[in-house]
Amino acid sequence: MPNLMMMKKIAGAAVLASVGLLAALNAQAAIPIQHWTLPNGAKVYLAATDALPIVDVQVDFDAGSRRDPAAQAGLAAASAGMVQKGVRASDAGPALDENMLGEAWADLGANFDAGAGAERTSFSLRTLSDPALLDKAVALAAREIGEPSFPADVWQREREQIVAALKEANTKPGTVTARAFAQALYGTHPYGQDTTEATLATIDVDMMRTRQAQLIQPCRAKLSIVGAVTRAQADAIATRLLSRLSVQDGACAALPTVPEVAALSAPAEERIPFTSAQAHVMIGQPGYPRRDPDHFALTIGNYILGGGGFVSRLMNEVREKRGLVYGIYSGFSPGLHAGAFRVGFQTRPDQADEAVKVSREVMAKFVADGPTEAELRAAKDNLIGGFPLLLDSNRKLLGNVANIAWNDLPLDYLDTWTARMNAVTVADVKAAFARKLQPQRMVTVVVGAKP
């Protein structure tokens, strides 16, 4: 069966790709990234490596949920999901429904996916670099990106399934905690918008088509390409992937400015009764945007505070010394805007107050005093030692290239990453945390404990 053979080939190639890429990374700091702009305005980022028999592509648009109208929260995710439910007939070929699309991708032994997060709608393609297969895969992906049919009957079915999933999720304390935390943290900022049964009910396929025409345009695209292709081939792939979209002149009207996340002016605490064996807790505040120069100091500092598992201060103080939790973590989620800083854990309801108190004390002390030299050295050793594992496959490298593209980071970001991490001092970490965190003004959400 040809499709089974192709799928076996791509699976085997993926294993070889991981081995080959890891060897390449051991021989040099990182694979060089090339960047250029197409005549239609799209920006292309290429990490070419002849060792890889697979080509991975990610196409990102500024079309995430932060662009959703509040009354239609969930439109971005719904639209991205519907892209894979069919393409309309055009000069490129006949109409294809979701089953036909699935069969077409299976015959090619390739994968195509679409999804939407808070900031971007992303399309991803993985295919063998064999020219015949690559050409057909790119052509089919171009149709899905540029000619989705958005069938109304399929959307009705999909909406019912999403609503059912939401109802089930709402029975879980983790969902309730995350929603309450986001609303308290972001207020009316689009980062805090919540998809509900009511907002889904207002979404129809005409809205999806309008959104597609407004936001999914070549001049808004950032394409990241990794694999066995030359710059000329990558240019042709990028051009063809966007060729079925309507606007091709390289000029896009400016999108509305999304406001910055407002800093918290005072602490807030919300306790939500919930019948569960464990109390779910989140403590946090707005953090920082990804392009902030404190990023490296904050990354190392957070590893020491709560991102390093059993070697972190929070784990040591809250779990090891006092037995208040099984696990506890802290983390930043920087984006185009100040994403959340959060501390999260679960505990027995009768221990929630004590666990919150100790967690706040640990954070306050860390912000006030910073890390020790020993903690800093151990964090660097771990993070730098694990860096090659963040790049040891096509997919991981693609994710890093797309991160560079989306956040407009320097093209040598991966080459200089280790040096920049090594340059961070105790004073840098202390100063960065003092600038970014205000433990006395954080949001605390406790779900499951007695009100």
Give φ, ψ of 125 to 5 degrees.
-130, 135
- Write out the chain's pLDDT in tens, 451 residues: 344 444 444 544 444 444 444 444 443 456 899 999 999 999 999 999 887 789 999 999 999 999 999 999 999 999 999 999 999 999 999 999 999 999 999 999 999 999 999 999 999 999 999 999 999 999 999 999 999 999 999 999 999 999 999 999 999 999 999 999 999 999 999 999 999 999 999 999 999 999 999 999 999 999 999 999 999 999 999 999 999 998 766 678 899 999 999 999 999 999 999 999 999 999 999 999 999 999 999 999 999 999 999 999 999 999 999 999 999 999 999 999 999 999 999 999 999 999 999 999 999 999 999 999 999 999 999 999 999 999 988 999 999 999 999 999 999 999 999 999 999 999 999 999 999 999 999 999 999 966 5
From residue 409, how far is each of 81, 295, 404, 405 by CA, in Å?
29, 12, 5, 7
Tokens, residue 353: 């107050």
Predicted local distance difference test score (pLDDT) of residue 14: 47
Give the model's pLDDT for residue 56.
Answer: 97
Q: What is the pLDDT of residue 9?
A: 47
Instruction: Identify the pLDDT of residue 448.
Output: 92
CB 208 within 8 A of CB 86: no
Residues 259 and 67 sit within 8 Å (Cβ to Cβ): no
2-241 against 268-447: fold identical:
yes
Provide CB contacts within 8 A for 277, sequence distance 6+: none
pLDDT on residue 5: 47
Q: Which fold has domain 2-241?
A: Cytochrome Bc1 Complex; Chain A, domain 1 (3.30.830)
> Are the beta carbons of 117 and 217 closer than 8 angstroms?
no
| pLDDT at res. 2 | 42
Cβ atoms of 177 and 447 closer than 8 Å? yes
CA distance 451 to 449: 6
Residue with tokens 């021989």: 27
Q: Name the pTM for this structure.
A: 0.91
Pick the CATH number of 268-447 from 3.30.830.10, 2.40.160.60, 3.90.1720.10, 3.40.718.10: 3.30.830.10
Measured between alpha carbons, how far is 430 from 82 in angstroms, rounded to an integer?
46
- The pair of structure tokens assigned to 154 is 């399929």
Map out the domains of the chain as residue ranges: 2-241, 268-447
Both tokens of 169, joined, read: 């999720």
Contact 212, 202 (CB under 8 A): no
